[in-house]
Amino acid sequence: MQHFQQHYVGGRWIDSRGSQHLQLADPASGEPCATVQVGSADDAAAALRAAAGARGTLARSSRAERLQMLQAIATAFERRMPDLVDAIQQSLGAPRLLCERLQVPAGLMQLRAWTNVLQQFAFEETRGRHLLLRQPLGVCLALTSWNWPVNGPMGVLLPALAAGCPVVWKPSELASASAVLLAEAMHEAGLPAGAFNMVLGDGATTGARLVADPEVAMISFTGSGATGERIGAQAVAQGQRVVLELGGKSPFVVLPGADLAAAVNGCLLGLLRNSGQSCNAPSRLLVPAADAKQAEAIAAAVAQAVVVGPPGDAATQMGPLGNEAQYRQVQAFIERALADGARLVAGGPGRPAGLERGWYARPTVLAGLAPEAHAVQEEAFGPVLVIQTYHDIDEAVSLANRSAYGLSAYVVGPEAAAVARRLQAGMVHVNGAEMDIEMPFGGFKRSGLGRKFGPEGLQAYLETQSILMPAAA
Ligand code: NAD
């Protein structure tokens, strides 16, 4: 049993002053495996004070000094990669191979990407006789989710530091093990004291206390829509800048003339990769009505062939869901879809055969639902695919866009590049193009506010200032 009871504040580890504990369970067994001491109001205040103390030093730091910080973080991060693989496998239940190939190396990809952005970014430019400055905002608060516990946080912490902003990070309580390892790497990197601070805890106590503090100039929130929208409203009322990275219900549009088998495979395996727990997971498959039967048959075969099992097994392609609440949510989601008249193409409620313990769900494919049905409109955040059909490309576009979300979209087929422009999503993948974290990522509509990654992502931590010069006499 691990006990997480220290925060990282002002360049050192301090004992938590909180009196509450949370218990975490191993998703593969459901057995308790760790406790987290919930950061108190005093802990939150100490972290914010430390960050405020580093504001001037960081704001004055040069591009070269910031690049050096990123380099030092990369070296320290690399040394912790094996431990991070173990931590994410155990706390999230992610298959070991996924942890080794993607969950953890994503940290290095982030470091490379932000180094590139920082090398080229124009913090200052002239416009005619005037000067335009991009100034660090000040203390940033990072609130992050548990599903990609390296990639998500690094996509917030690194640009904050690259912009010259000190940061206080409240990781998801469910990802405390990997968060502590990341904080150790930040410590080893020798950043100026107070540049990076981490307070462990929950949302209701620790997170809410941090959000309410006037010391915070900017909030970057990654998580669920309801919480994000509340925090966004509060931030605006308090005069804080805010970036919201929320959920999605991303369409995967298969156009006439596409390779149907490759498309259905790509969509379903992409969805199931992290047990469906990715904000940009392709969770709606849109196929021409004439191909529907064949698409369903392919999807059923793919879903049934996916090996669901313990995260440590080499053959496992899909591990359990990350926690009990997520498991219950996914079960309720499938039950409700069936009650709404969904046809089960594969999977269904309950655990896969032979996995009686732990938070394992069945890769599930649903069809025959109306466009406004709950399962078509809402995020399952689990291994549940909905198949929709269309008669012409205009209908495909209209169905794809008929969503309150707009985080990502995928489109395959000869006309994919043209159709991509018509899709209401922050990032559109054409003909299998992979995620590129040097391109801005974020949501249309209720999927969020602002962008992360790329120069646009760095801009989120900066305030634009016009310095007006008088006309020459
Ligand atoms: P969540 O909203 O429960 O929590 C997110 C973070 O906010 C956690 O650190 C949590 O402790 C904190 N928090 C919760 N309530 C708070 C409050 N009142 N005040 C301050 N902080 C609070 O979300 P989650 O379950 O961790 O994440 C899953 C969701 O995140 C999914 O909807 C997923 O789509 C979304 N997500 C989006 C992106 C993206 O980039 N768009 C990336 C990953 C996950």
DSSP string, 49-61: HHHHHHHHHHHH-
pTM metric for this prediction: 0.97
Angle at 407 between CA 388 and CA 253, to 5 degrees: 30
Reported as type and span, the H/E element at residue 131 is strand 130-136
Q: Quote the ligand 1 centre to 253 CA distance (angstroms).
A: 27
Query: 354: how many CB neighbours lie within 10 A of its CB?
Result: 8
The residue among 301, 300, 319, 299 whose CA lies nearest residue 310 is 319
Sheet holding 2-4, edge to edge: 2-4, 32-37, 21-25
Query: Does residue 213's CB lie within 6 angstroms of at least one atom of ligand 1?
Result: no
Q: Which of 279, 296, 378, 379 is catalytic?
A: 279
Cα–Cα dist 89/98, whole Å: 9
Which atom number of ligand 1 is nearest to the Cα of residue 245? 41
Cα–Cα dist 414/60, whole Å: 51
Write down the domain spans for the chain.
2-246+447-467, 250-437
For residue 245, indicate whether it is catalytic. Answer: yes
Nearest CA to ligand 1 atom 40: 245
Nearest CA to ligand 1 atom 35: 223
Residue of 48, 156, 222, 324 best suited for mutating to test ligand 1, as the one with most atoms within 8 Å of CB: 222
Cα–Cα dist 298/300, whole Å: 5
Pick the CATH number of 2-246+447-467 from 3.60.15.10, 3.40.605.10, 3.90.180.10, 3.30.1300.10: 3.40.605.10
- Check: CB of residue 320 under 8 Å from CB of residue 93: yes
pLDDT attached to residue 36: 97
Structure tokens at 240: 């804080």
- Profile the chain (473 residues) by mean pLDDT over runs of 10 residues: 96 96 97 97 98 98 98 98 98 97 98 98 97 98 98 98 98 98 98 98 98 97 97 97 98 98 98 97 98 98 98 97 98 98 98 96 98 98 98 98 98 98 98 96 98 97 98 87
Q: Quote the ligand 1 centre to 222 CA distance (angstroms).
A: 5
Query: Does residue 448's CB lie within 6 angstroms of at least one atom of ligand 1?
Result: yes
Q: Under CATH, domain 250-437 is a member of which superfamily? A: Aldehyde Dehydrogenase; Chain A, domain 2 (3.40.309.10)
- Check: CB of residue 173 under 8 Å from CB of residue 198: no
pLDDT attached to residue 473: 78
Which atom number of ligand 1 is nearest to the Cα of residue 145? 26
Query: Does residue 227's CB lie within 6 angstroms of at least one atom of ligand 1?
Result: yes
For residue 279, indicate whether it is catalytic. Answer: yes
- Check: CB of residue 410 under 8 Å from CB of residue 429: yes
Phi, psi of 102 (to 5 degrees): -135, -55
* Residue that is written with structure tokens 């298969």 in the block: 254
Structure tokens at 53: 């103390």
Reported as type and span, the H/E element at residue 346 is strand 343-346
